[in-house]
Structure 1
């Protein structure tokens, strides 16, 4: 229950090839909602359901990462990609939440908390002792969300170009509360 309102039926599972169309739609819509006002509109419009569907189809067929789907009220409402860390300066004990996007209509209802928690549990099951993720500095909502999960900035930054230059900060956490990152 979140804010006195019961959560609607929620299902989280690994995505299958038949989910690619839904994954593409959820990712593109959630991406635009998450980055409106942060990334230029012309860039956000390029992130279409069709190109995201192609990405997920290839990821499910070839990629080493795993793709999860969140279903709320019998409708796809979130997508998450997890795997080993892509960063050369982190050792093999680090898994990574490579992306997590939820439809704006489910924000603030506890779904994101359930979804990220599920992803962190999967990383621990895969044998990772630590988790990392990257967050845009300008995305205060996402930074606050990750910090509530115990993720902390480790001082690593990178500049990416998404219609303009943006700074990402890396956040890390231990998956074992008695283990230092």
Structure 2
């Protein structure tokens, strides 16, 4: 059983561990292994502390707490697109669950709470970006009502360029 609450500064190390381990598990065979191997919890936590303390931060962070502390994390906020038709759209920037707990409903719980909060903030839809080759994540988001909307962007990881697809759903 997990419950969801706002992320606190004390959660940063645990969230960074979830994110780094999540990347290393989810993107193995997609993102270059050298890139994944170079990721550290300490480096991620340092960046997270810096962004978490920004006074004008518009993103929200939630954690799923289990009996061992944080076991999942979601970050969301206004859509980062500068297109006028995206002003009423929220965006899920990141969603990670401890790799050993994937499939237990934690991601669905976090996403549901983020959707409720986005709707409460006046957003009419939610968007997110997912690596084209990450079939597991694409299936997860499609089951949650998201559909690819035709937008794509490329990201460079080490020496490899990977394509991300944008998904959207009505809230």
TM-score, with length taken from structure 2: 0.93
* Alpha-carbon offset, residue 71 of structure 1: 1.6
Report Cα offsets for 1:114-167 as digits up to 9, x if no partner. Answer: 111111111111111110000000000000000011111110000101221100
SS of residue paired to 1:147: helix
Kindly indicate whether the alpha-carbon contact (under 8 Å) linking 1:81 and 1:99 is maintained by their aligned counterparts in 2: yes
**Please, what is the CA RMSD of the aligned residues?**
1.2
Report Cα offsets for 1:32-77 as digits up to 9, x if no partner. Answer: 1111111111100222101211222122211321111112223321
Mark the runs of 5 or more structure 2 residues left unpaired by the alignment: none
Report Cα offsets for 1:61-119 as digits up to 9, x if no partner. Answer: 11321111112223321111100001112421000000101111111111111111111
Kindly indicate whether the alpha-carbon contact (under 8 Å) linking 1:137 and 1:168 is maintained by their aligned counterparts in 2: yes
> Where does 1:26-175 land on structure 2 (aligned, <5 Å)?
26-62=18-54, 63-89=57-83, 90-163=85-158, 164-175=160-171
SS of residue paired to 1:150: coil
SS of residue paired to 1:97: strand
Find runs of 4+ consecutive structure 1 residues off by over 6 angstroms: none
Equivalent pairs, count: 167
Kindly indicate whether the alpha-carbon contact (under 8 Å) linking 1:16 and 1:60 is maintained by their aligned counterparts in 2: no
